[in-house]
Amino acid sequence: MNQAIRRSWIVAISMFALVLGSLTYVQFFEANALENNDWNTRQILQDYGKNRGAILVDGRPIAESVPSNDQFNYQRVYNQPEMYAHLTGFFSLVNGSTQLENVMNEDLSGSSDDLFIDQMIRLFSGAQAQGASVELTIDPQLQQMAWEMIPEGQTGSIVVMEPATGNVLAMASKPSYDPNLLAAHDTSVVVQNIEQLAQVPGLSIYFNPATQSLVAPGSVFKLVVAAAALETGQFDAESTIPNPPVLDLPGTDVGLPNFTTGGCATRDTADLEFALEQSCNTPFAQMAWDLGEQAVLEQAQEFGFGERFFIPVEVAASQFPTELSEAQLAQSAIGQFSVAVTPLQMAMVSAAIANDGVLMKPNLVKAVRAPDLSIIDEPEPEVFRESLSADNANQITEWMVNVVENGTARSAAVPGVEVAGKTGTAEVPEQGDNAWFTGFAPADDPEVVVSIVMQDVDIATGAQLTSPNAKRLIEAVLNR
């Protein structure tokens, strides 16, 4: 009998050996295949059911996860959604995530290596995973102001920055959308909402216009040409350039005119100060011919053109075209033809000039905090480019102050403060112009850079929506 008992025991043990084998197969060898199976919703549920960290502006959450009563434990909620949508992006079951929700995902979801200690503690404590929160450099009052300055139905972007640090204080764009529409857990509802948002003219929910839309800069690009002129040493404050009302463009039957209504017609030669003050086209076109395409391109690159970078959200590369004919170079010099910039790029040009020629890398994130509020990441200001020499930067600053005092940007003047600025109008085929302002204040010790673009407007409206708004933003910062 005992022999039979031993054999039965062996049979029992063999059964256990079999299930140990099959467990090993499922949990170890087949685990990856099962994890990637289309029906496996666990990964999604894990990502979307997490107590994801908040995105904070001045201590208040603009995106947060609140407990929800469905199979996902948490629901992502956006506060003041439209105003911040382009910054936060969305976090959606159907379409993944964009902007800060995407680039800061490791921290927000709590999977970042910086949270290693938290993860270890959780491993042993069994506490619920909690993501880190991301604090932005945004100033809520400025953001609110900037947001309200863009009329409903108007396409436009406003960027406010600190030149010395690169910190972005406000970044607003319209048209915007409500990310809550994409954060719903019911996929059919989300799909429907996406279809509706796709109907909104000028809106893409996938990119932030301030950092990813490429628009014609028009005359504000003259700052880049002016910098190139000084940096190459071919021109200085004393140089005089012919200022004909129309410049014949070789190889074409069109000319490049100055504004007939502006002050340019009063002189037939111009120095750089005057050319900037009245935003004359023909001197800049000729300077570009003298400098050559390469010099202008290199100076543009010194300001960050041609490079895609992250602040930490993605910034598209602004473009200065190459292999240009003389006519195209002339048009490019005044920010036409196929020169295309992001609104942020023009803020960076002003910021570099404001900061003695040193371009600081733009930055949106003030700090990343672990769930226990300890700081795990605090981005330091970093130099992005040495765009131009301090002397040349100060020279251009003087000229830009002159533009606000006597030139095209008079409505940006702030009493008792020297404001430096430059306006621009870019003609866009088949629609209205782009109206621009970029500048900074105070001129001697700049605290704030403002860059405003309004697209598809007539000249009068554009003038109202740019310089006067810049003035109010500058005042708001200086009165903080």
Residues that bind other proteins (CB under 8 A): 1-9, 11-13, 15-16, 18-20, 22-28, 30-35, 37, 39-42, 45-46, 49, 69-71, 122-123, 125-129
d(CA 62, CA 64): 7
**Nearest of 6, 358, 455 to residue 164 by alpha carbon:** 358
Q: Return the number of the residue (70 or 458) whose C-beta is nearest other proteins.
A: 70
Q: Are the C-beta atoms of residues 416 and 443 closer than 8 Å to each other?
A: no
Q: What is the smallest separation between the CB atom of 188 and other proteins, expressed in angstroms?
A: 18
CB of 181 to other proteins, least distance (A): 25
Query: In sequence order, which ranges of 138-271 are alpha helices (DSSP H)?
Result: 140-149, 180-183, 187-198, 209-212, 222-232
What's the rounded Cα separation, in Å, for the pair 334 and 225? 8
Helix or strand (DSSP H, E) at 314: strand 314-315
> d(Cα 279, Cα 301) in Å, to the nearest integer?
23
* Nearest distance in Å: CB 27, other proteins: 4
Q: What is the Cα Rg of the chain in Å?
A: 28
CB of 223 to other proteins, least distance (A): 54
Q: Which is nearer to other proteins, 126 or 429 (CB)?
A: 126
Q: Cis peptide before 175, with omega less than 30 degrees from 0?
A: yes
Length of the chain equals 480
Taking the complex as a whole, the smallest distance from the CB of residue 37 to other proteins amounts, in Å, to: 7
Judged by DSSP in three states, 201 sits in coil
| 99 membership: H or E segment, kind and range | helix 99-103
Q: Is 92 a catalytic residue?
A: no
On the question of a cis peptide bond just before residue 61, with omega within 30 degrees of 0, the verdict is: no
Nearer to other proteins (CB atom), residue 124 or residue 199: 124
Instruction: State in angstroms the smallest separation of the CB of 374 from other proteins.
Output: 20
Catalytic residue among 97, 157, 219, 387: 219
- Identity of the residue, 15 or 237, whose beta carbon is nearer to other proteins in the bound complex: 15
How do strand 55-57 and strand 133-136 relate by DSSP bridges?
parallel
Region for residue 14 given its phi and psi (left: phi exceeds 0; alpha: psi -120 to 50; beta: otherwise): alpha
Instruction: Centre a 10 Å sphere on the Cβ of residue 61 and count the other Cβ atoms it contains.
Output: 16
Least CB distance to other proteins at residue 322 (A)? 52
Tell me how far CA of residue 9 lies from CA of 13, 17, 23, 142, 271, in angstroms: 6, 12, 21, 78, 102
Catalytic residue annotation: 219
